[in-house]
C-alpha cells in the first residue's frame, strides 16, 4: 500500500479484502528513528485470528534491544531536542501526528482488525478516531498547563513547576492496541519525555506503523521507539531497567503486580497501572427505559467481543424485573452475532488468539459446573473459517461468589445476579478485588446518587454504559490500578514536581 496517499474507505468486505491484499505489513522494531530487526535476529509469527493466516514475522526483541532503545531515548532526552522544545512546538508536531493518524485511518483500522480480530466497522469508527482524538486533545492542552507560585513571605519566591520525568516505558495490551498506546504516548510526549512503547505480542502491527507516522509528523529520532516482543523478555527488561524513569502499563492485574516488584528490585521507577475489572451494571426496576438499558447491557458485554477492561460483565438486576430483562437482553444480543471482521455489517468479531478462546470456553464450562443457568450462546462458531469466534453468552442465576462472577474472563460472557434492595446491590457490586467501572440505571435521582457515591469504582455511569471522553480521567480503584489516563490528570504520571525557592537579597 502506498503510505503517503490515503485511500477511499471501502464500503464492503470485498473492498476491505482488496485493500488488505495491498498492505505492507512491517514487523521490525522502530529504534532511534528507523526500522530495525531484533539484535538476536529472532522473530515470531503474527497470526490473524480472522482466518488463522500468518500476517508477518515480527521482531522478538529482548534485553539487548531494550538497552539500545533506552540509550537512544536517554540521548534524545538529554539533548533537549524534544524535552526543551517550547510546548507550542511540541503541540504543533503532535497535532500533525493526529492528522496523519486520521489520514491513514483505513490502513490503521485494517491492521488492527487483521491483527486482533475486532470488526472493521469499530476499528474504523471507534479505534482510529479515538486514537487521533486522544493525541489531538492532549496536544491542545499542553500549552495551557501552568506552574504555581507558593504563598511566600514578601522577600521570597517559591516556584512550583512540572518537568518531564525522562525515559518512559509504556507496556500495553491487545484489546485496543492503538487507543491504549495513545492514552500513554500522547501525554508522555506532550510533556517532553522520550518514550519506548512495547505493544502486546498479540497485536504489534499498529504500534510499529504509528512510530513511522510520528517521525513523518516531526518527532525527533530517539524520542519515540517501539519494541515488539514478549512480556517476559523485552517487557521485563524494560520493567527492570535501571535507566527507565517511569513505567506505564495497561494489562492484567497479575502482570501489574509483577511490575511493581520489578520497580522495587531496580531503580524505584514510577509505576502507573491500569489493570483488570469485573464491572457491575446495576439495573433497578424503575430504570427510565428498560429496552435501552438492555441494549446497552448487551453492548457492554459483546462490544469488542467482551475483550474490554470495563466490560459490564456482572449484570445486577432487581428481582422484580429479572425475567423480563433477560428476555430483552437476549433480544438485543441478536444484533451482536459473530461475523467476518472485514464485513462492515459485523458487530462481533474474532477472539484475539487460541489461548484466549480456550480461556473463554473454559469459563463457560466453569459457569455450568458451578450451577449457573446458561440462557444464551455458549458455543464456538464459524470454525470452518479458520478464525476464532464465540457466541455472546449469558448466565442467569449467578451468585457473586462463583468464579464466573469474581474472575475477569475477558470475553463475551455475562453473569446475571439478582438483588432486592439498593443496599444489597451496592454490597454485591463492591464485593470484588476490582474497582474499574460501574453503572446504575434508575429514574430516582436519590437512588442514582446514593448508589454512585457508594460504588468503589474509578468511573460510574448513570443511565448509560461506558460514557465519557478525553475530558474525564480514567482508571481504577483497588486492584484495577493506580493513577489516571486521559484528561489533565494524565500529566501527573509523566512529570516530576519541582519546588524552586528563592530568598531575595
Which residues are catalytically annotated? 274
| For ligand NAD, the closer CB: 339 or 435 | 435
Q: Which residues bind ligand NAD (CB under 6 A)?
A: 171-175, 180, 198, 200-201, 230-232, 235-236, 239, 250-252, 255, 258, 274-277, 309, 408, 410, 436, 476, 480-481
CB of 232 to ligand NAD, least distance (A): 5
Torsion of CA 430, 436, 441, 447, to 10 degrees: 50
Per DSSP, the residues of 404-419 read HHHS---SSEEEEEEE
| For ligand NAD, the closer CB: 245 or 274 | 274
Measured CA to CA, the distance from residue 81 to residue 266 in angstroms comes to 28
| For ligand NAD, the closer CB: 324 or 469 | 469
Measured CA to CA, the distance from residue 482 to residue 476 in angstroms comes to 6
| For ligand NAD, the closer CB: 100 or 457 | 457
Measured CA to CA, the distance from residue 500 to residue 388 in angstroms comes to 57
| For ligand NAD, the closer CB: 117 or 235 | 235
SS3 category, 462: strand
CB of 357 to ligand NAD, least distance (A): 13
Asked if 360 and 348 touch (Cβ cutoff 8 Å), the reply is no
The closest residue (CB) to ligand NAD is: 231
Measured CA to CA, the distance from residue 259 to residue 237 in angstroms comes to 11
Which residues are registered as beta bridge partners of 425?
none
Sign for the pseudo-dihedral over CA of 397, 401, 404, 408: positive
Question: What's the burial of 357, exposed, middle or buried (CB within 10 Å: 0-12/13-18/19+)?
Answer: buried
| For ligand NAD, the closer CB: 37 or 173 | 173
CB of 60 to ligand NAD, least distance (A): 11
Question: How many residues would you count in the chain?
Answer: 505
Q: Please provide residue 303's backbone torsions phi and psi, each rounded to the nearest 5 degrees.
A: -60, 135
Residue 199, C-alpha cell as written in the block: 505493544
CB of 365 to ligand NAD, least distance (A): 20
Asked if 204 and 172 touch (Cβ cutoff 8 Å), the reply is no
CB of 499 to ligand NAD, least distance (A): 31
CB of 475 to ligand NAD, least distance (A): 7
CB of 262 to ligand NAD, least distance (A): 7
Among 104, 125, 114, 120, which residue's Cα sits nearest to residue 7?
104
Across the chain, which distance is largest between two alpha carbons, in Å?
A: 82
| For ligand NAD, the closer CB: 180 or 455 | 180
The HSE-up count of residue 448 (CA atoms within 13 Å, CB side) is 12
**Strand ranges, E, within 32-147:** 34-36, 43-47, 54-59
Asked if 438 and 457 touch (Cβ cutoff 8 Å), the reply is yes
70 CA to centre of own chain: 24
Residue 5, C-alpha cell as written in the block: 496517499
CB of 214 to ligand NAD, least distance (A): 19
Amino acid at each position: 500500500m502506498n503510505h503517503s496517499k490515503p485511500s477511499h474507505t471501502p464500503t464492503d468486505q470485498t473492498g476491505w479484502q482488496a485493500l488488505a491484499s495491498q498492505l505492507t505489513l512491517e514487523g521490525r522494531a522502530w529504534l532511534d528513528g528507523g526500522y530495525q530487526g531484533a539484535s538476536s535476529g529472532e522473530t515470531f509469527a503474527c497470526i490473524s485470528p480472522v482466518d488463522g493466516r500468518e500476517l508477518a514475522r515480527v521482531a522478538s526483541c529482548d534485553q539487548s534491544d531494550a538497552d539500545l532503545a533506552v540509550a537512544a531515548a536517554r540521548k534524545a532526552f538529554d539533548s533537549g531536542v524534544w524535552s526543551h522544545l517550547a510546548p507550542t512546538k511540541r503541540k504543533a508536531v503532535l497535532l500533525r501526528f493526529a492528522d496523519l493518524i486520521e489520514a491513514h485511518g483505513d490502513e490503521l483500522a485494517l491492521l488492527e482488525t487483521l491483527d486482533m480480530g475486532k470488526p472493521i466497522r469499530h476499528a474504523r469508527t471507534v479505534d482510529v478516531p479515538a486514537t487521533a482524538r486522544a493525541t489531538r486533545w492532549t496536544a491542545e492542552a499542553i500549552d495551557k498547563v501552568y506552574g504555581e507560585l507558593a504563598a511566600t513571605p514578601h522577600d521570597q519566591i517559591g516556584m512550583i513547576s512540572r518537568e518531564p520525568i525522562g525515559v518512559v516505558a509504556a507496556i500495553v495490551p491487545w484489546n485496543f492496541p492503538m487507543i491504549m498506546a495513545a492514552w500513554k504516548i500522547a501525554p508522555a510526549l506532550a510533556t517532553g519525555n522520550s518514550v519506548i512503547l512495547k505493544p502486546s505480542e498479540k497485536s504489534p502491527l499498529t504500534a510499529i506503523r504509528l512510530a513511522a507516522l510520528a517521525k513523518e509528523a516531526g518527532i525527533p529520532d530517539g524520542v519515540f521507539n517501539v519494541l515488539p516482543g514478549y512480556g517476559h523478555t523485552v517487557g521485563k527488561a524494560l520493567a527492570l531497567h535501571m535507566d527507565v524513569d517511569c513505567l506505564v502499563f495497561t494489562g492484567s492485574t497479575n502482570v501489574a503486580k509483577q511490575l511493581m516488584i520489578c520497580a522495587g528490585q531496580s531503580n524505584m521507577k514510577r509505576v502507573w497501572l491500569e489493570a483488570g475489572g469485573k464491572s457491575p451494571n446495576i439495573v433497578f426496576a424503575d430504570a427510565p427505559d428498560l429496552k435501552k438499558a438492555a441494549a446497552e447491557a448487551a453492548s457492554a458485554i459483546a462490544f469488542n467481543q467482551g475483550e474490554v477492561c470495563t466490560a459490564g460483565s456482572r449484570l445486577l438486576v432487581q428481582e422484580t424485573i429479572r425475567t423480563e430483562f433477560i428476555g430483552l437482553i437476549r433480544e438485543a444480543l441478536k444484533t451482536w452475532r459473530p461475523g467476518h471482521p472485514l464485513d462492515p455489517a459485523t458487530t462481533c468479531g474474532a477472539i484475539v488468539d487460541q489461548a484466549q478462546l480456550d480461556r473463554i470456553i473454559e469459563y463457560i464450562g466453569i459457569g455450568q459446573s458451578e450451577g449457573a443457568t446458561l440462557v444464551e450462546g455458549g458455543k464456538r462458531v464459524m470454525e470452518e473459517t479458520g478464525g476464532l469466534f464465540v457466541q455472546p453468552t449469558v448466565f442467569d442465576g449467578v451468585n457473586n461468589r462463583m468464579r464466573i462472577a469474581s474472575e475477569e474472563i475477558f470475553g463475551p460472557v455475562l453473569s446475571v445476579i439478582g438483588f432486592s434492595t439498593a443496599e444489597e446491590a451496592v454490597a454485591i457490586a463492591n464485593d470484588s478485588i476490582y474497582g474499574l467501572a460501574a453503572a446504575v440505571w434508575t429514574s430516582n435521582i436519590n437512588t442514582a446518587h446514593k448508589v454512585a457515591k457508594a460504588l468503589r469504582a474509578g468511573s460510574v455511569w448513570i443511565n448509560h454504559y461506558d460514557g465519557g471522553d478525553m475530558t474525564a480521567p480514567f482508571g481504577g480503584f483497588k486492584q484495577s490500578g493506580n493513577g489516571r489516563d486521559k484528561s489533565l490528570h494524565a500529566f501527573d504520571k509523566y512529570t516530576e514536581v519541582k519546588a524552586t525557592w528563592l530568598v531575595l537579597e
